[in-house]
Amino acid sequence: MTENLNTPIIPTWCPGCWNFQILAGVKNVINEEIKKGKKKDDFAIVSGIGCHAKIFDYVNLKGINTLHGRVLPTCLGMKVGNPNLNLIAFSGDGDCYAEGMEHLIYAARYNADFKYFVHNNQVFALTVGQSTPTTEIGYKDKTNPLGVKLHPINSIKLMLTAGASFVARVYAEKEQIEYVLKEAMKHKGFAFIEVLQPCIIFHDDTGYGEKTYSLEKTGHDKTNFESAMKKADEFDYNGVKKDTKIPLGIFYQKERTIFEELYPQLSELRKKKIGWGDIKR
């Protein structure tokens, strides 16, 4: 059966926003899972603050639209509270790489089993166009009239060195979202998925869309950390040059014990398929 994942809310993203592609891809995958036998209530979603976060209002699943920067600790807490939840979380680049950076490093370290999308449009869009940690040098806006001076963060490299067990990057097209979410759901552990998402108002595709290529189709070995690092080095987020190449797909994937299995109390909850809320004392 299919569940209606819609809410009565009419999306307020800009017409043509790439967030619609992400929304459609995510809903399709969840609906497929439900068709295969999962229940709607097995899923939960979390978002932060920013344009990405509106997705919470458009997907009729339980969860929380939490504070700016705090998606990851909230997810960890939800998995501690009920380790059986199928949790999908959403952040923006400001949410994740600026306000929430400390949690990002720790999320890779904890390796709790949930899937995490970072809608990276390289700009604070909802506050009308300021630079984020992944904005390229020279980008000008009202708060940076002299142009952005700092080198952008390479989030893929960051996640690899932090020990993330699943590191991927896709472009904000529905099919790519579907592909990567399905792969991430097969992965037991924390899945970091960055979505290159043009902001059609404040930071449109500066030509990087044309420079992308598939890691899967070019025979990348996603179990090899060194080659994942090399692939991550190919794109530095600092604008597009003639010879820029942007790999998309899964850079690295290697399962290790998940957070929920490190503690006997949580393992027990997993075994019994319950959360703390089900325990009567």
List interacting residues with another protein (CB under 8 A): 7-9, 41, 44, 46, 49, 54, 56-57, 60-67, 70, 73-82, 85, 102-103, 106, 263-266, 268, 275-281
Q: Looking at beta carbons only, is 81 or 207 nearer to another protein?
A: 81
Q: How far is the CB of 58 from another protein (least distance, A)?
A: 8
In sequence order, the 6+-apart residues with CB closer than 8 A to the CB of 117 are 22, 26, 52, 88, 89, 90, 91, 193, 194, 195
Q: How many residues does the chain have?
A: 281
CB of 98 to another protein, least distance (A): 14
Give the bridge partners for 166, in sequence order: 253
State in angstroms the smallest separation of the CB of 97 from another protein: 16
Angstrom CA distances, 249 to 131, 162, 260, 270, stand at 26, 19, 27, 30
Q: Which is nearer to another protein, 75 or 160 (CB)?
A: 75
CB nearer to another protein: pick between 110 and 235: 110
Question: 101-110 vs 155-162: helix axis angle to the nearest 10?
Answer: 40
For another protein, which is the closer residue by CB, 64 or 168? 64
Q: Which is nearer to another protein, 63 or 133 (CB)?
A: 63
- Least Cα distance to 51 among 72, 65, 35, 33 occurs for 65
The distance of closest approach from Cβ of residue 80 to another protein in the complex, given in angstroms and rounded to an integer, is 5
What secondary structure letter does DSSP report for 11? P
User: For residues 110 and 202, which CB has a smaller minimum distance to another protein in the complex?
Assistant: 110
Query: d(Cα 221, Cα 272) in Å, to the nearest integer?
Result: 36
Torsion angle of alpha carbons 14, 173, 90, 84, nearest 10°? 140
- Amino acid found at 3: E
Residue 79 or residue 119: which is nearer to another protein going by CB?
79
Instruction: Please tell me whether residue 3 adopts helix, strand or coil conformation.
Output: coil
Shortest distance (Å) from residue 56 CB to another protein: 7
CA-wise closest residue to 175 among 24, 51, 60: 24
Q: How far is the CB of 54 from another protein (least distance, A)?
A: 8
Give least dist CB 138 to another protein, A: 33
Are 207 and 240 in contact by the 8 Å Cβ rule? The answer is yes
